[in-house]
Structure 1
Amino acid sequence: MKKILRHIALFTFALFLASCQSSGESDDVTNSEASQLTDSEPFSAAYVENSEGEASRSLISPPEAEETDDRIESSRVNAITRSVEKGSGAVVSIMATEPIRQQDPTRDEFFRFFFGDQFPKENSSMGSGFIISEDGLVVTNQHVVGKDPSEIMISMGDGSTFEADLVGFDELTDIALIRIQSDQTFPYLTFTDSDSVIVGEWSIALGNPFGLFDDGRPSVTVGVVSAKNRDFRANPNNPRVFIDMIQTDAAINRGNSGGPLLNSNGEVIGMNTFIYTGGTSAGFVGLSFAIPSNRIEKIISQLLTSGVVMLDYDPGMEFTSMTEQLIYRYRLPYVQGLLVTSVNKNGPAFECGILPGDVIVRIGDERVMSEMHAWALLRDYDVGDEMQVELLREGDLYQTEMMLRQKVKDNSSNPSNN
């Protein structure tokens, strides 16, 4: 029995040696063939996937390697890069200089003689903007150019600079329109309907953050549309009112103000305006806001026509913000809203039943916070629209509907009713 087991073991060992020799010969042949390939034809190695999706190392000839590189290169081009390429040429950097008119009342000739004029006479601000016509119309934020700039300089992406003139501005919506002083044609961006913006779609912000870069070429930040129709309640001390804003998580920093917010087609859906920090910091925390394109178009059309923004209808009444002084003086309800101070007897307000002393608390679907807020809400209406108004009178709540029409001259003998 032991002899039989010994013979079996020897036989198994002999088979093992034979298989090793055969494997070595096969390897020699493979290495030889590979050596011949190396001497006769250059090759490159890459990882490819088999039919089962598993990665394996394979030899690829130069044409196939070039095709692979082309595929990789083409995959880097997407909707975002195309949108950036389309919009970058129309984005500009803006430097505005505004004289400081307020003087220190404590300064007199004595101090000026000994200490000189040490206070600055001009204030400079920097921001972004974008061209909307081939003849050089530029849209930006009003806070970028100020109210009465003495000089506005425009820097293009190619490094060229131009002077610009202020066409008009609207402080309430923080929109300004300027024109480049040049006869040449410029690349420009087009607006799209901001009401059709989809929450979750790509949003691309272009601008010059913090004014860091002198070459004029814009920086790019990318995010998604986080929300639409975001309102910021009016601050009585702040003349600006922001309604129906587009929220995005694309980073908008100081200097990005006035730059465009694009969709993946390279169309303007809004204008970058401000960030919300929640009081936690002074930097970006993921909440950026842009003025919607529909509001921009409506404002700049009036700026082009008259240089100012006015209602194309007359509500037929005058009003003021509710204050504690008015509440205590006239024993009014303690609410936020508008106190109607006068009513035109030939106007829409009188026709729908509004009287002096009424307190307007709601216009449309919006709760009225202040006089500035009310004017911002009124701009969303046009001649021929019906505007819902909710008001308080002697403690009772009433609702009425105002039909808006163009102003009719008041022939009343009472000069206060106009």
Structure 2
Amino acid sequence: MKKISSLLLVAVFAGAFTLGAYKLFFENTNYKVVTQEGENTTFKTNYTPTSPKGAGINELDFTTAAETTVNAVVHVKNVTLSSGPTNIMEFFYGSKSSQTPQVGTGSGVIISSDGYIVTNNHVIDKANKLQVTLNNNKTYDAELIGTDPNTDIALLKIDAKKHLPYLAFGDSDNVKIGEWVLAVGNPFNLTSTVTAGIVSAKARALGQIDQSFIQTDAAVNPGNSGGALVNTNGDLVGINTAITSQTGSYVGYSFAVPSNIAKKVVEDIMEYGNVLKGIIGITTPHMNSPYAIENGINEIEGVYVDGVTSGSGAEDAEIQSGDIIKKIDDIKVKKFADLTGYISAKRPGDEVILTLDRDNEVLEIPVTLKERQTLIVPVMGIEIKNLTEEDMKNFNTKTGVKIIGVPETYRGYGLYGKILLSVDDEKINNIQEAKTLFGRISRYGKTSITMLNSKGERERLIFQ
């Protein structure tokens, strides 16, 4: 009997121990938080099991995109020759001072198997010689096919005598904020280097630049300019262009030209030799201006139409002042950069559908883009327009642009109404070429402009 009692006691203690261990170590306890007033506070919880690899970035695989990209990203070397300071012998006898080679570096992306390479215009600007080094360390001389300083895109060509690895353009309109991207380039003269980050913002405007950018926190440093921004599939979604930094090195913000814009620029250069840019033909107020604040325009989600340009597609489509653009095609428009970013990938003659809010009525209106005919050039602020057939006949010229607006600073020079033929001896054919040439002017150097007056006489002015 004692033996049976002992066994029973041992069984009871073993059962109690087992039950206690289960309660302590295995059973999930549900807690409910109750306020003193008796109101329940509910917390939403995600019960998805944690991956054994960890959460987030560890579950992503960047290796395929990196392996695809590094061999299609190249090192670009720009050699320029700069003259030394003028000496007394040169002043009296015309002897030429020695020219010192200066080397600049950047990155580029191979976009076709036969050697076409896209990079930034500022990487190759004023180059006397261009060289491209592939990721396998083979170096080739490069030919400059064309540039577009307005978008900071340039197109190069090398003859490698073999098929090269290249990247396909992706659709930058489909890039989403928070999406993982890789930046690939040659920072600090290293071979192709890969950094990862996310898309921080789209259609980001930078200062006075008439361009929208993809913003990312992938590390970009000097030498990355012209390199690739790719998604995790290895599709080219941007060309790395700029960073915001007070030190000259990466501090958390970098910007890329969207691939749709870069692709359109490259196609225009290859087909037409220059870039064709279409416009809707509207004016909008600055969002932080007193006018916008007083009228509540700065709080509008969309693009407020303040005016319509004469002869534009907007005028033909009867767009009105006061309309608010909410969408262009299938792209939502929250700010002006959303609109300009999408339009930058279009050409004159293309049709877009604008979704408007007009007095609380939603309208969908087709608009045909037209080529810009007037603009204000940088630095000097002169307003110019392309020549009409009548202008060409009256001034007996087929080149140049007409000056139709002069800021107060230059009104004493008799510029108004004359034909601007060249800037620093570089000929002008249209307003876009004029904008590019004026954009190169240094505020601290001398600039010469050549004009044609109504009598057919050429005038040359030098500004300092």
TM-score, with length taken from structure 2: 0.52
Aligned to 1:223: 197
How far 1:282 sits from its partner (Å)? 2.8
Counterpart selection for 1:241 from 201, 204, 210: 210
Q: Which moved more, 1:134-143 or 1:403-412?
A: 403-412
Q: Counterparts of 1:314-333 in structure 2 under 5 Å?
A: none
Please tell me whether Structure 1 or Structure 2 has the larger radius of gyration of its CA atoms. Answer: 1
Residue 110 to residue 285, structure 1, CA distance change in 2 (3 Å): closer
Amino acid at match of 1:288: S
Partners of 1:375 and 1:109 in 2: how far apart? 53
* 1:114/1:150 CA distance change after superposition, 3 Å: closer
Q: 1:113 to 1:197 in 2, by over 3 A?
A: same
How many residues get paired? Answer: 297
Q: Structure 1 351/411 Cα, relative in aligned 2: closer, same or farther at 3 Å? A: farther
User: 1:89: which partner in 2?
Assistant: 71
**Native 8 Å contact 2:114 2:159 kept in 1:** no
Q: How does 1:5-84 map to 2 (within 5 A)?
A: 79-84=61-66
Output the amino acid matched with 2:274.
V
Cα distance between partner residues in 2 of 1:225 and 1:376: 16
SS at match of 2:142: strand
Distance 1:247 1:367, change over 3 A: closer
Structure 2 match to 1:203: 181
Whole-angstrom distance in 2 between the partners of 1:178 and 1:255: 17
Q: Which residue of 1 aligns with 2:106?
A: 127
Give the corresponding residue for 1:37: none
Question: Cα–Cα, structure 1 residues 257 and 112, in superposed 2: closer, same or farther, change >3 Å?
Answer: farther
2:264·2:346 contact (CA, 8 Å) conserved in 1? no
2:378 paired with 1:404: no
Contact 1:381 1:387 in 2 (8 A): no
**Shift of the alpha carbon at 1:155?**
0.4
Match of 2:254 in 1: 288
Q: Which of 89, 94, 100 in structure 2 is aligned with 1:109?
A: 89
Distance in 2 (alpha carbons) for counterparts of 1:376 and 1:291: 10
Structure 1 residue 116: Cα displacement: 7.8
Give 1:219 shift: 1.2
Give, in angstroms, the shift of residue 272 of structure 1: 1.0
Q: Within 5 A, what are the aligned runs for 1:407-418?
A: none
Per the alignment, do residues 131 and 124 of structure 1 end up closer, same or farther by CA in structure 2, a change over 3 Å counting?
same
* Partner residue of 2:268 out of 274, 291, 302: 302
Q: Which has the higher contact order (CA 8 A, sep 6+)?
A: 1
**What residue ranges of structure 2 are gaps of 5+ in the alignment?**
1-25, 27-52, 287-305, 357-364, 374-386, 395-401, 405-429, 431-464
Distance 1:203 1:92, change over 3 A: same
Alignment counterpart, residue 352 of structure 2, candidates 385, 396, 406: 385
* Aligned-pair CA distance for 1:92: 0.4
Please state how far the C-alpha of 1:160 moved relative to its aligned partner.
Answer: 0.7
Matched residue SS, 2:151: coil
- Distance in 2 (alpha carbons) for counterparts of 1:133 and 1:405: 30
- TM-aligned CA deviation for residue 303 of structure 1: 1.0
Specify whether residues 402 and 121 from structure 1 end up closer, same or farther in structure 2 by C-alpha distance, changes over 3 A only: farther
- Structure 1's 209 and 221: CA in aligned 2 closer, same or farther, altered over 3 A? same
Distance 2:343 2:180 in 1: 31
Residue by residue over 1:166-193, the C-alpha shift from the partner in whole angstroms, topping out at 9 and shown as x without a partner, is 1111100101111112331101111211
- 3-state SS of paired residue (2:164): coil
User: Aligned pair 1:255/2:223, yes or no?
Assistant: yes
Q: Deviations over 1:28-83 (max 9, x none)?
A: xxxxxxxxxxxxxxxxxxxxxxxx9xxxxxxxxxxxxxxxxxx9xxxx99621221
Letter in structure 2 aligned against 1:98: T
Cα distance in 2 for partners of 1:191, 1:149 equals 27
CA displacement at 1:159 relative to structure 2: 1.1
Name the CA distance, whole Å, in 2 between partners of 1:250 and 1:385. Answer: 33
What's the secondary structure of 1:109's corresponding residue? helix
Match of 2:159 among 181, 189, 214: 181
Unaligned runs of 5+ in 1: 1-51, 53-70, 235-239, 323-338, 390-400
Partner-residue secondary structure (3-state), 2:76: strand
Aligned to 1:142: 121
The residue that corresponds to 2:409 in the other structure is: none
Which has the higher mean CA deviation after the structures are superposed, 89-98 or 405-414? Answer: 405-414
Distance 2:175 2:351 in 1: 27
The alpha-carbon distance between structure 1 residues 157 and 406, as it changes in their structure 2 partners (threshold 3 A), is same
- For 2:262, what is the secondary structure of its paired residue? helix
Match of 1:26 in 2: none
Q: Is the 1:95–1:152 contact (alpha carbons within 8 Å) kept by the matching residues of 2? A: yes
Distance 2:214 2:268 in 1: 22
- Taking a change above 3 Å as real, the CA distance of residues 377 and 131 of structure 1, as seen in their structure-2 partners, is closer
- Residues 1:112 and 1:226: Cα distance change in structure 2 (over 3 Å): farther
Partner Cα separation in structure 2 for residue 116 and residue 251 of structure 1: 44
Change (3 A) 1:77 1:387: closer
